[in-house]
């Protein structure tokens, strides 16, 4: 059976922390789907098309990594894509507590058996989050060190 993993998130934008997780997860699975979750009630800095483009360019070198979008529950997306694993990056203890609660919830609400795999973010990248990157961008800071080269931002 093919080992398919989903790496879900809003990726607004994708960061070098996300890339660290993708690079380390790629050898562990036959296929990884970087799944951009959409929520019509949430306001994003980058459009879905921009986020998908940034990720597509950033993952080009990985033969087993693809990008997709979805709405609704991640566990349902996994079921619809035959994914038995969810990959999550952990930067700190509060990330672990939050992600652990989601993993337990997924098990409680679904008959579909999906295992959540936690990878610790490289310590040199653990401080990076999409919200910090957005703040740096909005305030004219040097965001290029925090994101893959595919991510471009023009201050409005």
Which residues are the active-site residues?
A: 18, 42, 91, 130
Residues 132, 77: Cα–Cα separation, whole Å: 28
Query: Going along 41-112, which residue ranges are E strands?
Result: 65-71, 85-90
73-79 contacts, C-beta under 8 A, 24 or more apart: 73/109, 74/6, 74/8, 74/35, 74/37, 74/106, 75/106, 75/109, 75/110, 75/112, 75/114, 76/110, 77/6, 77/8, 77/35, 78/6, 78/112, 78/114, 79/110, 79/112, 79/114
């Amino acid at each position: 059976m093919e080992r398919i993993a989903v790496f879900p998130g809003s990726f607004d934008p994708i960061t070098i922390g996300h890339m660290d997780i993708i690079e380390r997860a790629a050898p562990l699975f036959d296929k990884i789907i970087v799944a951009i979750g959409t929520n019509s009630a949430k306001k994003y800095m980058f459009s879905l098309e921009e986020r998908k483009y940034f990720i597509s360019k950033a993952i080009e070198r990985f033969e087993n990594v693809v990008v997709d979008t979805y709405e609704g529950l991640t566990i349902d997306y996994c079921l619809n894509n035959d994914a038995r694993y969810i990959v999550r990056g952990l930067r700190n203890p509060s990330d672990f507590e939050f992600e652990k609660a989601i993993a337990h919830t997924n098990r409680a609400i679904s008959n579909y058996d999906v295992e959540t795999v936690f990878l610790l973010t490289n310590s040199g990248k653990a401080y990076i989050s999409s919200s910090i990157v957005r703040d740096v961008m909005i305030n004219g800071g040097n965001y290029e060190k925090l994101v893959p080269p595919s991510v471009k931002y023009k201050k409005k």
